[in-house]
């Protein structure tokens, strides 16, 4: 993909946005709502079953036009088409990023290095179907003939976060009662606590690693294999209990996985975009293949919306450009993801990797230092819990924190007035962020309580909520396989659009490599092996000595 033929900050569109930012300094959203009864309706769009109210943003039609003009200047439509048709948009690794092909039900072939990606995807889905139906109908059993009760998915990063999020999100669709556990960290506690809950005779292990080189996953898998063999006492039994999803088939075979039990991954799928591939097996084993296909259909519907909807009505484009507005013109350093739904509790974790690993970059596609900010810190948590914790800083802290509120209109678990209460909480937060509370209002409230005037004057400033804090509200009819697919694909495309504007490679992640390299030198020293390793720095040396003096190994 060629580099942008411009310096972003020198474009007329960027200059216009800078001027608009100055003009909006004193504009208050509350006044915009008061003066324009049609505002909410005008800034409300829908696609793939999701609705976005983006009226509580510091924008005018002029700002929106200018943001979309910037997207045009960055050739967004061409870059989107290049992504979808399989051009090598991952420039540093010289390969496509074809996660959209994983959820494309069409039969038109897409060739990557002479290989028909679409046929590969269909073949893999059929193999997944065979495994899933065999496990769920109990025709496929463990080595003693007992049906499976537990699945342990071992993987980290993109081979963990997406499946965990969706597996939790689709609990209402669970079939077969399999318990799915996820082990990611190289922390003995995680694997040991998981294995304590499992029975080797009835546990299926999925080793999820695109590279099959990831230390955490390999070490945890070895522990799982030893634990299993200790009871099974027969290495032949491994083939009934261990599966792998990987692009590195020889390494999986070396580990002892039967080639028939290896599901493919491909170079043209990035780890953080891989839940739609066989990496999604824990999801399919939880909810069955029909629901897994519905998940893919939801994501595909969002792909089509992204491709076809005009920019002004395009959910990923609008959300991405609003993010650019706050990140690059208002100095926002973070972006909060606030799902008001227990099933979506791991969404912030997944989006953290998706967005921060994709757009946490400092050079352009052609390797020049960026002259502008790239991806923000993504964080968040489930509402209303956050309201009793970090929302204080959102409302009254000194930083500007744009937020996405995400909430289904109906619940799988109607009980008392809970869902209306939850919805009221969500709306009250976005309204409080937008409207705030003025000094006059705070003063009047305190006076109404009958407080002495001196106390009123002392307390009122502490009760002021500045307001004018931006947020989006995303809704869906219900948390379903389709809506969850659409939601995740929406954020994938939002991330892509921002990467286009910033001119970064959103599909590599070189920054995570250095720690891995250094770890290889540090480990032998922690274990007291004399490797002739040079000392690193006095801090690292001191901490190594501390670990060894405590007998930490
Ligand atoms: O699937 P794997 O090859 O084991 O990789 C697992 C994860 O680790 C890497 O270090 C990257 O940071 C992630 O993008 C990747 O998803």
**Percentage of the residues of the chain whose pLDDT score is greater than 70:** 98
Q: Concatenate the DSSP letters of all residues of 107-119 into one string.
A: ----EETTEEHHH
Q: Is 157 in the pocket of ligand 1 (CB under 6 A)?
A: yes
Question: pLDDT digits over 180-201, tens only?
Answer: 999 999 999 999 999 999 999 9
Q: What is the mean pLDDT of residues 368-376?
A: 97
**pLDDT tops 50 at residue 219:** yes
**pLDDT tops 70 at residue 85:** yes
Q: CATH number of 99-294: 3.40.50.10490, 3.40.50.20, 3.40.50.150, 3.40.50.300?
A: 3.40.50.10490
Residue nearest to atom 2 of ligand 1 (CA): 209
Per-residue pLDDT band for 534 (boundaries 50, 70, 90) equals low
Total-model pTM: 0.97
| Catalytic residue status for 230 | no
Q: Which residues pair with 245 in a beta bridge?
A: 208, 263
Indicate the top mutation candidate among 185, 210, 349 to test ligand 1's pocket, ranked by most ligand atoms within 8 A of CB: 210
**Percentage of the residues of the chain whose pLDDT score is greater than 90:** 93
CB atoms within 10 A of CB 289: 20
Question: pLDDT digits over 230-271, tens only?
Answer: 999 999 999 999 999 999 999 999 999 999 999 999 999 999
Sequence ranges of the domains in the chain: 8-74+309-420+472-508, 99-294, 511-550
**pLDDT tops 60 at residue 64:** yes
| pLDDT at res. 109 | 87
| pLDDT at res. 3 | 45
Q: Is 211 in the pocket of ligand 1 (CB under 6 A)?
A: yes
**3-state secondary structure (DSSP) of residue 244:** strand
| pLDDT at res. 517 | 86
Q: What is the mean pLDDT of residues 282-287?
A: 98
Per-residue pLDDT band for 553 (boundaries 50, 70, 90) equals low
Residue 516 vs residue 475, higher pLDDT:
475
CB atoms within 10 A of CB 439: 11
**Using CA of residue 324, residue 329, residue 333, residue 338, what is the dihedral sign?**
negative
Question: pLDDT digits over 292-328, tens only?
Answer: 999 999 999 999 999 999 999 999 999 999 999 999 9
Read off the tokens for 354: 């998706």
Q: Is 323 in the pocket of ligand 1 (CB under 6 A)?
A: no
| pLDDT at res. 518 | 87
Residue nearest to atom 16 of ligand 1 (CA): 158
Q: How far is the CA of 261 from the centre of ligand 1 (A)?
A: 21
Q: What is the mean pLDDT of residues 54-71?
A: 98
**Catalytic member of 300, 357, 391, 419:** 357
| Catalytic residue status for 463 | no
Q: Do domains 8-74+309-420+472-508 and 99-294 have the same CATH topology?
A: yes
**pLDDT tops 50 at residue 1:** no
Q: How far is the CA of 166 from the centre of ligand 1 (A)?
A: 18
Question: pLDDT digits over 141-180, tens only?
Answer: 999 999 999 999 999 999 999 999 999 999 999 998 999 9
Q: What is the mean pLDDT of residues 512-531?
A: 87
Q: What is the mean pLDDT of residues 507-513?
A: 95
Query: For 337, phi and psi rounded to 5 degrees?
Result: -110, 115
Q: What is the mean pLDDT of residues 66-80?
A: 98
Spatial CB neighbours of 181, under 8 Å, sequence gap ≥ 6 = 150, 151, 152, 153, 194, 197, 198
Query: Across the chain, which distance is largest between two alpha carbons, in Å?
Result: 83
Q: How far is the CA of 157 from the centre of ligand 1 (A)?
A: 5
**pLDDT tops 90 at residue 107:** no
ipTM associated with this complex: 0.98
| pLDDT at res. 386 | 96
| pLDDT at res. 530 | 67
| Catalytic residue status for 357 | yes
Q: CATH number of 8-74+309-420+472-508: 3.40.50.2300, 3.30.470.20, 3.40.50.10490, 3.40.640.10?
A: 3.40.50.10490
Structure letter (DSSP) for residue 202: G
Q: How far is the CA of 161 from the centre of ligand 1 (A)?
A: 11
Determine if the peptide bond prior to 376 is cis (ω within 30°). no
């Amino acid at each position: 993909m060629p580099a942008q033929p411009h310096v972003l900050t020198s474009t007329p569109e960027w200059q216009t946005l800078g001027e608009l930012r100055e003009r909006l300094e004193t504009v208050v959203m509350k006044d915009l709502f008061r003066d324009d009864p049609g505002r909410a309706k005008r800034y409300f769009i829908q696609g793939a079953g999701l609705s976005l109210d983006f009226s509580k943003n510091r924008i005018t039609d002029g700002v929106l036009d200018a943001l979309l003009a910037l997207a045009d200047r960055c050739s967004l439509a061409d870059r989107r088409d290049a992504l979808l048709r399989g051009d090598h948009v991952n420039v540093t690794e010289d390969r496509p990023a074809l996660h959209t092909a994983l959820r494309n039900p069409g039969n038109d072939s897409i060739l990557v290095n002479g290989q028909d990606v679409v046929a590969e995807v269909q073949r893999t889905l059929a193999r997944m179907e065979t495994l899933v139906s065999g496990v769920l109908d109990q025709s496929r059993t463990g080595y003693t003939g007992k049906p499976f009760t537990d699945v342990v998915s071992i993987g980290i990063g993109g081979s963990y976060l997406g499946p965990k999020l969706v597996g939790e999100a689709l609990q209402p669709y669970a079939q077969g009662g399999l318990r799915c556990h996820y082990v990611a960290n190289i922390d003995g506690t995680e694997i040991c606590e998981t294995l304590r809950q499992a029975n080797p005779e009835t546990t299926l292990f999925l080793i999820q690693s695109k590279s099959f080189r990831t230390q955490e996953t390999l070490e945890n898998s070895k522990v799982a294999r030893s634990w299993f063999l200790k009871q099974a006492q027969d290495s032949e039994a491994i083939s009934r209990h261990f599966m792998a999803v990987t692009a590195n088939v020889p390494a999986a075979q070396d580990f002892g996985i039967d080639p028939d039990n290896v599901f493919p991954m491909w170079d043209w799928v990035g780890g953080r975009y891989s839940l739609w591939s066989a990496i999604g097996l824990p999801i399919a084993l939880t909810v069955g293949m029909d629901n897994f296909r519905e998940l893919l259909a939801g994501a595909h519907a969002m792909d089509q919306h992204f491709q076809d909807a005009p920019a002004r009505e395009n959910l990923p484009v609008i959300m991405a450009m609003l993010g650019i507005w706050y990140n690059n013109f208002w100095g926002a350093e973070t972006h909060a993801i606030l799902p008001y739904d227990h099933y979506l509790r791991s969404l912030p974790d997944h989006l953290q990797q998706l967005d921060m690993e994709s757009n946490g970059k400092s050079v352009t596609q052609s390797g020049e230092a960026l002259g502008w900010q790239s991806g923000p810190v993504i964080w968040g948590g489930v509402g209303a819990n956050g309201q009793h914790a970090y929302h204080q800083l959102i409302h009254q802290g000194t930083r500007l924190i744009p937020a996405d509120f995400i909430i289904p209109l109906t619940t799988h678990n109607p009980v008392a007035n809970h869902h209306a209460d939850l919805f009221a909480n969500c709306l009250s937060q976005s309204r409080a962020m937008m409207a705030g509370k003025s000094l006059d209002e705070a003063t009047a409230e305190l006076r109404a309580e009958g407080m002495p005037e001196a106390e009123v004057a002392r307390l009122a400033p502490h009760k002021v909520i500045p307001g004018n804090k931006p947020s989006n509200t995303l809704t869906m009819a219900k948390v379903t396989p389709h809506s969850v697919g659409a939601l995740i694909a929406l954020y994938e495309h939002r991330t892509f659009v921002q990467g286009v504007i910033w001119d970064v490679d959103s599909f590599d992640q070189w920054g995570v490599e250095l720690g891995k390299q250094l770890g290889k030198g540090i480990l032998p020293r922690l274990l007291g092996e004399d490797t002739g390793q040079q000392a690193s720095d006095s801090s690292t040396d001191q901490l190594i000595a501390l670990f060894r003096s405590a007998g930490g190994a």
